[in-house]
Structure 1
């Protein structure tokens, strides 16, 4: 009974997140009007899943730290289900299926991650694609880790102070390479880094701090968003999974839905383990 109730509660939470509208993009261009530019970051530790859209496998073995996309997508309605990794099909989903809608005219990254207390959650970030002055690049830091407020250091000095989950902060800097590190706010010893980060002229470099400080799983993920003087096009770095041309329409469901369902899936798994111990 407890297992069934946990599943029902988790599904309800996932559906509530899915029906929450994603924030609108700051601007669109003539080339991209009516389309959505989408990337998805998996920042929930210890959860690898398969994602099915309209009954078709769209993301296989989507693992923590993976950044998928970006794609320019037409708006529409799709059915999404998340299964255990390597499931034969979508007939026994971990959560779902649910119907989701993605509206056009957005440029964003959807992240499944942990909140400051270590609970699974989801955040949709609007990517700032506003124009940059010649010789300048944009550095954005997003705190999506189960960790307290942090300070972000650049070349040995605090550049961003007291950043909390799930907030972000952007800086416009001269193009070049900086040595970046992250420390607990008010302290000097780094919990992440130092590491070299390239600030590219006419582009945005987005750095995500994800994972859990308590579990020792803190990590960094990076995303590059190019074309500040034209139609924006995100180019993720690190491990990336991009579906083929025939699957591009299926990616509509991933934006709002995948982040929420990943969060719901790990919560369900935790509750099922707890139920089995009773």
Structure 2
């Protein structure tokens, strides 16, 4: 399955009756597909305003919105006049968030995820896993080069996410497993070199009527500043010698 990096449709949305507001920065991701082998393009309309088109596995550029309720419509067509496929009123919090359109086992829908933009410790990388497939809960495992398989996310169900900081470095394999049987649900390939400060967000999607699939969107967060250790030298003690007395001889006579 191909990996889609840093999605491509640029647009700016204006909520109905208002100018561009500050307070919330929203990225919209299209993780909709009944079968991961087939593209399911959707037009995005926010508060009745056309915001752009997204193919499956694509993410928008950041959109400024005011915190609060906004109507998100995902349309089968090239503008807001087409057939509505998803219509959700979502409560958008302040900060940086992602709205993921997805197709679980029941009706297609959309969900808001808070993006963890906090710093990572030096030598660490961040992995976020988002479940948008028509499939039960799964665990995410990753295998570092020369190391053992490590569980990165546990029991993540459709419409949920998990974020974990792990050691940066080369990872040769990753896979989704059934939490009960530990059987492999999907081989998600080699993550490659995950660098310090990188955020790798893995999306699991599809399966409503066909295969499941995955894609990755990469971003960056700052590396935490290391505390500065100040060494204080011991105070220097200066001993002042007593003044030398000068004796002037006196002569009698």
Normalising by structure 2, we get a TM-score of: 0.61
Tell me the equivalent position of 1:157. Answer: 149
Tell me the equivalent position of 1:211. Answer: 206
State the SS of the aligned residue for 1:171.
strand
State the SS of the aligned residue for 1:139.
strand
Distance 1:78 1:130, change over 3 A: closer
Question: Which residue of 142, 166, 176 corresponds with 1:182?
Answer: 176
CA–CA distance in 2 between the matches of 1:101 and 1:124?
7
Distance 1:183 1:100, change over 3 A: closer
Deviates more, 1:215-224 or 1:75-84: 75-84
Higher relative contact order (CA 8 A, sep 6+): 1
Structure number with bigger Rg: 2
Flag the structure with higher helix content.
1
Tell me the equivalent position of 1:233. Answer: none
Tell me the equivalent position of 2:57. Answer: 65
Offset, 1:209: 0.9
1:43 aligns with 2:31: yes
Deviations 1:84-103 (A, max 9, x none): 324xx64x44239x997986
> Does the 8 A contact of 2:122 with 2:223 survive in 1?
no
Distance 1:138 1:54, change over 3 A: closer
Structure 2, unaligned runs of 5 or more: 1-20, 35-39, 225-253
Offset, 1:83: 4.2
> Does the 8 A contact of 1:38 with 1:109 survive in 2?
yes
Deviations 1:225-258 (A, max 9, x none): 313359xxxxxxxxxxxxxxxxxxxxxxxxxxxx
Offset, 1:221: 2.1
| Aligned positions of 1:218-257 closer than 5 A | 218-229=212-223
Q: Count residues in correspondence.
A: 190
State the SS of the aligned residue for 1:69.
coil
> Does the 8 A contact of 1:37 with 1:106 survive in 2?
yes
> Does the 8 A contact of 1:75 with 1:101 survive in 2?
no
> Does the 8 A contact of 2:25 with 2:65 survive in 1?
no
CA RMSD of aligned residues (A): 3.4
Normalising by structure 1, we get a TM-score of: 0.57
Tell me the equivalent position of 1:192. Answer: 187
CA–CA distance in 2 between the matches of 1:110 and 1:63?
15
CA–CA distance in 2 between the matches of 1:153 and 1:80?
33
Question: Which residue of 114, 131, 150 corresponds with 1:126?
Answer: 114
> Does the 8 A contact of 1:52 with 1:82 survive in 2?
yes
Distance 1:101 1:210, change over 3 A: closer
